[in-house]
Chain A
Amino acid sequence: MGTTASQLGKELLSEYQELTFLTKQEILLAHKRFSELLTKDEKDLPNTKVSMERILTLPELKSNPFRKRICHVFSTSEQKDGSLTFENFLDLLSAFSDSATLEIKSHYAFRIFDFDDDGTLDRGDLEKLVNCLTGETDDTRLTPEEMRQLIDNILEESDIDRDGTVNLSEFQHVISRSPDFVSSFKIVL
């Protein structure tokens, strides 16, 4: 671990602490876990990207139905392949950490749920979201009729301006009242 600490650099470490909701130990742990995903020669290069497939081998993300979306949202790569640099990875962990604010959590949750990246949750997004939540198997899937009803109900509740989609402010409004969003929107290494 001593080597990883020196690799990160004191300056950078304190900057990371300043910019994320993570503690020093958590950043170091994240760095350790991240460098485990890298191959030998990649380790020496700064700012290497790790492909989404390899990120998803992390047990913390493995069984998450939104794993691909999470990678895409936090990725800054230009190829849109969901690959993450260490800094992206820290962003991810910061947003999912214990002490992150409701605001930032709901912001990222919105972007995760926004499957087509168009800035609103429309029916297509909601449908995909339901399918993610109910799992891949057929016996847990909802019938089209149920799906329609469910989405109607959701729009009825949260679409305050009645434009047929849920936008960020409406989403945050809904989320901010939820008793257990903050406690469940967490990923810890």
Chain B
Amino acid sequence: QERQSGRRRKRRRRSGDKKEKKKKHQRRRSSSSARDGREERQTKKRESSKKQREKHFKERTTERNEEEAQTSSVKATKTNKNINNEKTRKTKTAERETEKRNEKKMDKSPKTIERKESEGKNTDKSKERKKHKKSEEDKEEQEELDKEQEEVRSECLSPEELEKLKEAVDERKKLIQSLRVKPWPMKKKLVSLRESQEFVEKYEGALGKGKGRKIYAYKVIMTKKWMKFERDFENFKTTLIPWEMKIKEIESHFGSSVASYFIFLRWMYGINMILFCLTFGLVMVPEALMGRPYGSIPRKTVPRAEEASAMDFAVLWDFGGYAQYSVLFYGFYNNQRAIGWLKFRMPLSYFLVGVGTVAYSYMVVIRTMARNANESGIGDDNSFNFSWKMFTSWDYLIGNTETADNKFASITTSFKEAILEEQESRKDDNIHLTRFLRVLANFLVLCCLAGSGYLIYFVVRRSQKFALDGLENHTWWERNEVNMVMSLLGMFCPMLFDVISTLENYHPRVALQWQLGRIFALFLGNLYTFIIALMDEINLKRKEEMIVKYNITTWENSFNGTVSENSTATPISLHPADVPRGPCWETMVGQEFVRLIISDTMTTYITLLIGDFLRAVLVRFLNHCWCWDLEAGFPSYSEFDVSGNVLGLIFNQGMIWMGAFYAPCLPALNLLRLHISMYLQCWAVMCCNVPQERVFKASGSNNFYMAMLLVILFLSTLPAIYTIVTIPPSFDCGPFSGKNRMFDVIHETLESDFPVWFSKVFSYASNPGLVLPFILLMVLAIYYLQSTSKNYKEANVKLKKKLQMQNEENKKKNKRAALKAQMDLEEARKASSQQKHVSPRRHYYSKNGRNPAPPVGDRSLRRSAPRTYQHVNPGPPGYLPGLPRQSETRMHRVPSLQRH
């Protein structure tokens, strides 16, 4: 308390000091400086004056209008108070807690009590009297101020004072910065902003009187400029965010869950942009600009046999012909160590970019996951299940009546479900049937998965046979069988799963997760069957390559033999197109992935056009001449399937990660695809989809999707890494040709481009003796962190319990105190001879210590306890409530209530 009043005095002195500096000779009351100072003081003393305001507020709730009229008519000094009063009314709820705390602190100061008493006396006096009293009070305050300023005036500007002034200015600045987080109406904010800005401007210059003045002024100007720049930059940044308006439009029509898909799509686009920049800038462009031109060496030339059809559209569409022998694929790159005048280390760059894309993706995904986890905090704790449903379930972004209706329905269902769940924790009627059905459903799903896996394997093997026969002899279907089958499976199996999942009778949210999990398993299974089949093919190609290699060596030997025989003939220069070459399996893998992506994209777009657009058109226009209502009945309009689309996106990304090493063009293709998707899907959603019936929250599943992405990332990098590490590269194509393994390029660089000691250090570091302990250390660190986090969680729960217990304890204490005070009051009443009635409402008011809440309705049991006491002991009727006794009780009680 001592400290508090001391601080107050200090503040006052500070304010007086400023005033004094400004205009020493003028009378405060009449001058603007007085107003300035007073206002300033008022704002600074806001915390301490809150208590006062609260009191005013309590006393004057009934006479506010008169008072406001009065305050406005009084002096300029009063306007501030008026605003404060208004603010009290507006933000009383917000500041109640802090106010109470303040009040508690301040209550003990004798002055306050005195004032309180005087005001308590005031209540029964006439309004005029009150006004008078109030102005008197103001006068008193002013006189107090005067006195303090007199004190200050005698001092001169010492460094301490300067320091204080500086402090005040800083405080003002802080206020300016924190204004926007204050829940005040704009008018008030504007007033205080202008005031404080004026203040800061006025006194900032005076601050740096001595040597540091110029620097200080410079600093001030620079901070101002910097702030302006920052704001402009912020504005600029928001205009740069692509598709912001589109997404916001969708958000306002369909709510945040559909918009979350588009935000995810945009995020994906960002990642792919980076991947594209890496591969394009560091691999494709250097090779195209500085590498050997097309046709210079065999690997960069279309073979003679394919030359005729190399420019056909069908071939190009399949990424054969000229497309195959270009920078788009692995095989085109040369194993020359350094290319061009920059001495660009092409193979090294190729390898590092491949590793870098994966590393970057890992980093981004994990960072995003961590951030999401941070944002959601302790999202999975169920302690506020109902309250969250109540307070946070409405999506304020919804601006479409239909969506709003769906949302109403879904909220109602969720309420009802929650109540049911609460009522009967587990209703186990016919649990055997449910179990049986669930097992059956899972069995069916497994069959589906196995069937689709086998189908893909079968198709891939068949296509290999076709490929051996030569693709030209087969129809279009036979050539594109693999991709088509995969796309079709991806399209129809989820529907099948949906049908099967109706057997299971799960809660919709759980059902959705099962569904997602199954689709995930399907896609993953398909992808992996595809990869396994691809591995078979790689092995085939490698066998073929061995034969070719053997042939070439024998051919070369025989050729050399002939050359040595007649040395007069110049060595015959073969055209690169005629040189026999091995089947480049890396390019083949790249091609497969590119084809897969293309066909996947096509099916996505076509289903979008047929399934959504055509359906919408048919439903819309055939509705007039159809025998049932198409819009409400069977086909109706399609919903936007957020989870399915997200999954599709994730898998697409997985294929990119898998294939990007062998086909550097994949990120570029994906970028194109995402770009088109963005526009196409935005359009499709706005024109032919209806809002979802079951509106799910987006943020809850955000990390679920992210986790899937991470799993896919891991699973898709596995095969890529496996091939890189275990299979030797082709001998005559790609940047690593001639090496035993692809990663040998690192060794090579270390040995030839770095000093000896570096490679030595590196070899030591990669020694298993060092790596193993390191891994062990990391595992230990993970274990440690996990156990600490578990401890924190436990501590959190304990603290929460403690808080609750303490609150209850406090409440009990308060109740007891209140009861006791009331007993005293009753006794005093009995003793008193006055026979007047006490209205229960008035009682309630006083007991509550805060605003009057209507005492009707069924309040909690605890609340009713003292009230029954009231009824049992009604007290002498006709007791005059507003007299000192009453105010006394309030004074007793208020501090006790405020304790918690």
Residues of A within 8 A of B (CB): 14-15, 17-21, 23-25, 59-66, 74, 76, 87-88, 90-91, 94-96, 101, 103-104, 107-111, 113-114, 118-120, 122-124, 126, 129-130, 133-135, 137, 140-142, 146, 149-150, 153-165, 167-169, 171, 174-181, 183-188
Contact = CB atoms under 8 A, between A and B. Distances in A.
Going nearest first, the 5 A-B pairs with the smallest beta carbon separation are A135-B408, A87-B186, A164-B860, A63-B404, A119-B93
A177 B412 contact: no
A109 B391 contact: yes
Interface stretch (B159-167, B379-387, B772-780): B379-387
A168 B193 contact: no
Interface stretch (B291-299, B415-423, B557-565): B415-423
A160 B804 contact: yes
Contacts of B239: 25
B252 A130 contact: no
Contacts of A168: 93-94, 96-97
Does more than half of chain A's interface fall in helix, strand or loop, or is it mixed? helix
B384 A157 contact: yes
Nearest to A155: B860
Contacts of A140: 408-409, 412
Given A19-B180, A118-B853, A183-B256, 6 more contacts: A14-B231, A65-B404, A76-B185, A87-B190, A104-B182, A146-B415
A124 to B, nearest CB: 7
5 contacts: A19-B179, A59-B399, A110-B94, A154-B390, A180-B697
B739 interface: no
Nearest to B411: A133
Contact of B179 (A18, A107, A154): A18
A162 B808 contact: yes
B246 interface: no
Given A184-B397, A188-B248, A134 B412 contact: yes
A135 B396 contact: no
Interface string B393-417: 1111111110111001101100110
A118 to B, nearest CB: 6
A87 B235 contact: no
Given A19-B190, A130-B415, A135-B405, A108 B388 contact: no
Contacts of B860: 155, 159, 162-164
Contacts of B181: 101, 103-104
B469 interface: no
B377 A21 contact: no
Given A150-B415, A180-B699, A181-B391, A18 B180 contact: yes
A120 B852 CA distance: 11
Contacts of A134: 408, 411-412, 415
Contact of A161 (B194, B405, B811, B850): B811
Given A123-B857, A158-B384, A184 B238 contact: no
Contacts of A159: 860
B418 to A, nearest CB: 8
Contact of A146 (B251, B403, B416, B698): B416
Nearest to A141: B412
A18 B231 CA distance: 9
Contacts of B416: 142, 146
B877 to A, nearest CB: 28
B198 to A, nearest CB: 13
B111 interface: no
Nearest to B398: A63
A156 B804 CA distance: 12
A63 B400 CA distance: 6
A108 B422 CA distance: 30
Nearest to A166: B387
A24 B387 contact: no
A178 B388 contact: yes
Contact of A91 (B186, B238, B384, B700): B186
A135 B391 contact: no
Contact of A126 (B390, B700, B803): B390
A101 B178 CA distance: 12
B422 A135 contact: no
B863 interface: yes
Given A108-B183, A114-B93, A157-B385, A133 B401 contact: no
A94 B408 contact: no
B378 to A, nearest CB: 6
B392 A175 contact: yes
A159 B860 CA distance: 11
B397 A157 contact: no
Most buried by B among A111, A113, A174: A174
Contact of A62 (B234, B399, B850, B858): B399
Interface in B133-176: 176
A126 B390 CA distance: 9
B713 to A, nearest CB: 24
B390 A162 contact: no
B375 interface: yes
A167 B97 CA distance: 9
A168 B697 CA distance: 25
